Amino acid sequence: MTPTLRICHLYPDLLNLYGDRGNIIVLTNRARWRDIEVRVTEATLGTPIAAGDADLYFIGGGEDRQQRIAVEDLLREKRGPLTDAAAAGAVVLAVCGGYQLLGQFYRPAEGDELPGLGLLDLWTEHAGPGAPRLIGNLVIQPDGGEPAMIGFENHGGRTYLGPGVRPLGRVVSGFGNNGRDGWEGAVAAHVYGTYLHGPLLPKNPAFADRLIREAMWRRHPAFELAPLPDRLEERARATVLARIGGAPPG
Amino acid sequence: MRRNRFLTTGQSSCVHARLSAAIALGKATATLSRLLRRGGGTTMPGRVARAVEPGVVGLLSARLPLGSVVIAGTNGKTTTAHVLAHIMRVLGQQPVHNRAGANLAAGIASALVEHTDLLGRPRGDLGIFEVDEATVPRVVPAIAPRVAVFLNLFRDQLDRYGEIDYIAGLWRSAGAGLARDLVAVANADDPLVFEAVHGLPGSLVTFGIEDDHYALAALEHTAEARYCYRCGTAYTYEATYFGHMGRWRCPTCGVARQSPDLTARDLTLSGPDGSEFTIHEAGSGGAARTRTVLPGLYNVYNVLAAVAAAKALGTPLGAAAAAVASFAPAFGRAERVLVDGRDVRLLLVKNPAGFNEVLRVTLAAGPLPVILIAINDRTADGRDVSWLWDVDAEMLAGRVGRVVVTGLRAEDMAVRLQYAGLPPEAIEIEPAYDRALRRALDLATSGRLYVLPTYTAMLALRAVLQQWGTVRGFWET
């Protein structure tokens, strides 16, 4: 029987600010190149999801207005099944605005804290009026000897990690979670959040494969991914890494 | 003459002296930068002039006897400004306009200084200025235009300007400073434009396409305006043309595309060779057939916008439509150059919706085209290249002969093409502009080459062509 990977793309029409569709394109292709059958479902406003529906959930980032529309639906309709799925070992990947939504809460400049999904022990704060957005190329080094992760960041909020999560990596170049503590992203079990986009997965094929492997293991234990040549991916990574620390763009 | 701040007696001699100095120093800077070949002096003269007299844009534009037109929008500003300038030139006027892409305050000031003599008299009668999104609130009230054209709002250079809603807000806030006799010319097919120009003072003239033969099957991935600006419900589309342009409506609050004052109908698109269509005028029932060498639906919008602006300036529809036919594109916007016997088309790409349109134009040209894609990530291109993944590059799979990629982000584009389903042998990376161009020309044995550059990559490729003696410097265009 052909092994299958079921991907659920949450709010592709609302949270799609930074080429986030590229992450789905990369996951789909890299799985198919290993003869895995891939099924992608899109769940947007009013689309019900169930905990056993998918092996991997993806949430991207959106503009403020779109994010406000999505968060209401997310908390009301999708929080329960998503929490259950994560507890059962499904992979969740969230980028930028989606990353912030996975946390405990968002603290605006004024007014009450806005609740998040609580899948990751972290919170995000508005940096105050006039504070600069954190924008630019971002390189981080995950622990455990994995390859550096490369991308672009563009966020106003500053994220701080609680004791219940580990950072995804240490900032080598760029700002990361808050521009202060040197950490970027967050991981707990198979739930991942990060400010890295560009999009994230095309230039981080090892990380893409890690997500596919973890998503497959749930229903196909000991499933192994055949290596891919990644010739163009490695070349793109080398070019960016060579430029970081070089002349600033302009 | 509409406004004559020039002639007011109350103006202090101090301003006069400063303005004269600003003009003289600006002109000296222009001469110097041309001698030094520093990029043609499209912005430095304006920077110098504004340092001396910060009000130089308002003071000099007020002296243009026929007033000014400003053109705003993400895609098509330069082309629309050029088409409009061409129409007005055919009709005997002398437009003053800023150079391609020099659409920040300094670029506009440079154009004005250049077209003013040392005595402060304008050499030209009508200002046509393309204005950068972020410059709109500061520059537009200073220019006090007769006509303001709003083309479209797309996702572009997000790292520079933040979000689309923010840009729409800039347009609205600039509107508060505009004159009551302003004519706003706006794209009726773009719901974001509709919301952004809603409530501007003066009168509104709208344009749009009505030809379902060229409607797309579904809303593109790039579409920004899927949800109603007012109530958050998904818009429904009776027809979409590109990006989020089309016949839109909100099923909940009922806000919908208004029937435009000018419509393009009975379209015939001839791939990269241009198009032909009829422009209908709602009020009078008048109509005029026009043809243009500008390719693609996106240029139908640009031509419509230029004709609508010309009409707002008092040009009869028939005369404007006739003048369009003799317009020859320049400077990377569907520009054609002949290199070693090859017909080379330069088609600028800035964002996903425009890129998709350019790809459709290229694929309509004939089987298995050879394409050179040049992607940079400098500030003017947008430093974040994630937009490449919103391009529907999948349409190239199996339909393209060879793609040579170059520029600072050549490898990113190559990865995008690989995941779009192109086989490895169809993708060649050549980071150096001159070698990439040479290689692509050698591959283009059919006689045609399509070059798709981002803005600064276009400048770099034009510099190569100029070295080869093929195109002139951009300060001469």
Domain CATH number, residue B245: 3.40.1190.10
Residue B473 in any domain: the answer is no
Residue B475 in any domain: the answer is no
pLDDT digit string, tens, across residues B343-382: 999 999 988 888 998 999 999 888 899 999 999 999 888 8
Given the residues A8, A9, A96, A190, select the one marked as catalytic: A96
Alpha helices in A104-249 (DSSP H): 205-217, 231-243
Among B324, B350, B379, residue at a domain's last position: B324
In this structure, the answer to whether residues B35 and B100 fall within a common structural domain is yes
What number is the average pLDDT over the span B123-139? 86
In this structure, the answer to whether residues B337 and B320 fall within a common structural domain is no
Contact yes or no for B372/B436 (Cβ under 8 A): yes
Distance CA B100, CA B226 (A): 31
Residue B435's domain is classified under what CATH number?
3.90.190.20
The reported pLDDT for the residue numbered B101 is 66
Distance CA B296, CA B354 (A): 10
- Record: fold of A4-243: Rossmann fold (3.40.50)
In this structure, the answer to whether residues B89 and B169 fall within a common structural domain is yes
pLDDT digit string, tens, across residues B19-71: 888 888 888 888 777 766 655 567 788 888 888 888 888 888 889 999 999 99
Among B324, B354, B380, residue at a domain's last position: B324
Residue B341 in any domain: the answer is yes
The reported pLDDT for the residue numbered B276 is 96
Q: How confident is the model at residue B10 (pLDDT cuts 50, 70, 90)?
A: very low
Whole-number average pLDDT of chain A: 92
The reported pLDDT for the residue numbered B476 is 39
Calculate the dihedral angle through the C-alpha atoms of B408, B412, B417, B421, rounding to the nearest 10 degrees: 160
In this structure, the answer to whether residues B223 and B339 fall within a common structural domain is no
In this structure, the answer to whether residues B215 and B339 fall within a common structural domain is no
Which of chain A's residues have a Cβ under 8 Å away from the Cβ of B408? 243, 249
Which of chain A's residues have a Cβ under 8 Å away from the Cβ of B226? 13-14
Range with the largest mean pLDDT of A185-194, B107-116, B357-366: A185-194
Residue B111 in any domain: the answer is yes
In this structure, the answer to whether residues B114 and B156 fall within a common structural domain is yes
Distance CA B343, CA B268 (A): 22
Q: How confident is the model at residue B424 (pLDDT cuts 50, 70, 90)?
A: very high
What number is the average pLDDT over the span B254-268? 95
Structural domain tally of chain B? 2
The reported pLDDT for the residue numbered B138 is 80
What number is the average pLDDT over the span B301-309? 97
Using the predicted structure, report yes or no on whether residue B226 has a pLDDT greater than 50: yes
Q: Is B231 at the interface with chain A, CB within 8 A?
A: no
Rounded to a whole number, what is the distance in Å from the CA of B256 to chain A's nearest CA?
20
Whole-number average pLDDT of chain B: 86
Residue B433 in any domain: the answer is yes
In this structure, the answer to whether residues B282 and B372 fall within a common structural domain is no
B404 strand-pairing partners: B372, B428
What number is the average pLDDT over the span B122-142? 86
Range of the domain at B165: 5-324
The reported pLDDT for the residue numbered A58 is 98
Residue B477 in any domain: the answer is no
Cα angle for residues B222, B223, B228 (degrees, 5° grid): 155
Rounded to a whole number, what is the distance in Å from the CA of A224 to chain B's nearest CA?
22
Residue B474 in any domain: the answer is no
The secondary structure of B353-395, three-state, reads HHHHHHHHHHHCCCCCCEEEEECCCCCCCCCCHHHHHHCCHHH
In this structure, the answer to whether residues B151 and B250 fall within a common structural domain is yes
Using the predicted structure, report yes or no on whether residue B427 has a pLDDT greater than 80: yes
Better-scored residue on pLDDT, B240 or B164: B240
In this structure, the answer to whether residues B83 and B122 fall within a common structural domain is yes
Range with the largest mean pLDDT of B46-60, B113-127, B254-268: B254-268
Contact A19 B378 (CB under 8 A): no
Contact B163 A64 (CB under 8 A): yes
Distance CA B269, CA A34 (A): 42
pLDDT digit string, tens, across residues B180-202: 788 999 999 999 888 888 878 88
A 10 A CB-CB count for B39 gives 15
The reported pLDDT for the residue numbered B105 is 79
Q: How confident is the model at residue B9 (pLDDT cuts 50, 70, 90)?
A: very low
- In the block, tokens 């050879």 appear at B370
Distance CA B278, CA B291 (A): 9
The reported pLDDT for the residue numbered B155 is 67
> Chain B residue with minimal CA distance to A156?
B162
In this structure, the answer to whether residues B56 and B16 fall within a common structural domain is yes
Contact yes or no for B186/B220 (Cβ under 8 A): no
CB environment B245-265: b (16+ within 10 A), e (fewer): bbbbbbeeeebbbeebbbbbe
Residue B388 in any domain: the answer is yes
Task: Please confirm, yes or no, whether A96 is among the known catalytic residues.
Answer: yes
In this structure, the answer to whether residues B306 and B398 fall within a common structural domain is no
From A25-34, A74-83, B111-120, the region with the lowest mean pLDDT: B111-120
What number is the average pLDDT over the span B322-346? 86
From B127-141, B351-365, B371-385, B397-411, the region with the lowest mean pLDDT: B127-141
Contact A231 B427 (CB under 8 A): no
In this structure, the answer to whether residues B348 and B213 fall within a common structural domain is no
Nearest CB to B227: which of A20, A69, A133? A69
